[in-house]
Amino acid sequence: MSWSSDHRLLITGGADGMVHAFLQIDLVEHSNATAVSPIRTWSRHQLGVVALVPLSGGRMASAGQDGLLVLMELSSEAILITLQLTDAIRSLECWESRRLYAGTVTGTIHVIDLDEYALQTSAQQSDSTIVRPQSGMDAVFGAPSHEQLYQTEWRGHARSVTELAVLDDGLVSGDEGGEIRLWERACCIRVIHPWSNASPVTSICVMQYEHEETSLFSSNKKKGDAGLAKIMTPLQKFSTEERITIAPFAFWNPTRRIRHDETLPRLGHIP
């Protein structure tokens, strides 16, 4: 289930592949003796719906076990985008309503750039060509195919990707084997194995702290706060007074029933 971006609609997806939209006011005011009927229904998925993600502009993205990504317009029953991936989807996340991340059962993370998709679709409908400047890498290795520039694949997980969380302009992913990966622009910059047993990662929560910076190696801590300075030695390239902004996140191990907290440098400040 997921609320729409304006919290007026509750969207549900079921094992039957159906997606329903309910008015919040109907859910609050209805009598227990009467059933609440959805105001809209979508039936594009052939298998169960595994994830729903709200987008700006009154849109909702759904992902299914059939490998189908569907972008719906909530003000009507219109289907805006339908994309068929090669593998069944296990998890779905979005970044600023412009980029979709879909984790699959094979461990691949599919990244869909919605702006690029709209640009390419408009060009195809108008029978025009998109001209892009050639980069240095294109000059050496050749320009990439323009057939699906909106879709890329991030590979690294060997097990099914069960959870995703957006971290600034990057991503944190967890799989069925308990592995956590931190990504920046299709590159995995860190791999974490927080527990010894192969328990699946069932949730990841990124905790943002605004207007606050923490020194990674500074010893200026409050009494009783051990801090990272007492459990790790500063890297040689960093002085003890250099301040690095960090973003903590937590993930849940259902087997050991403990929460694991870890603090990671924000993207763009990775040593």
Q: Residue 257 to residues 191, 202, 213: CA-CA distances in angstroms?
A: 22, 11, 30
pLDDT at 29: 80
pLDDT over 90 for what percent of the chain? 48
- Strands of the chain (E only): list them: 2-3, 9-13, 19-23, 40-42, 49-55, 59-64, 68-73, 79-84, 89-95, 99-104, 109-113, 151-154, 161-167, 170-175, 180-184, 187-192, 204-206, 246-253, 258-265
Most confidently modeled of 48-62, 181-195, 234-248?
48-62
Read off the pLDDT of each residue in 57-72 and give the average, rounded to a whole number: 95
Cα distance between residue 242 and residue 82, in whole Å: 48
pLDDT at 116: 86
Residue 90: Cβ within 10 Å count: 23
Question: Model confidence over 114-155: pLDDT tens digits?
Answer: 988 887 777 676 655 444 555 544 444 444 444 577 899 999
Q: 94, 55 in Cβ contact below 8 A?
A: yes
Residue 151 burial (C-beta neighbours within 10 Å; 0-12, 13-18, 19+): middle
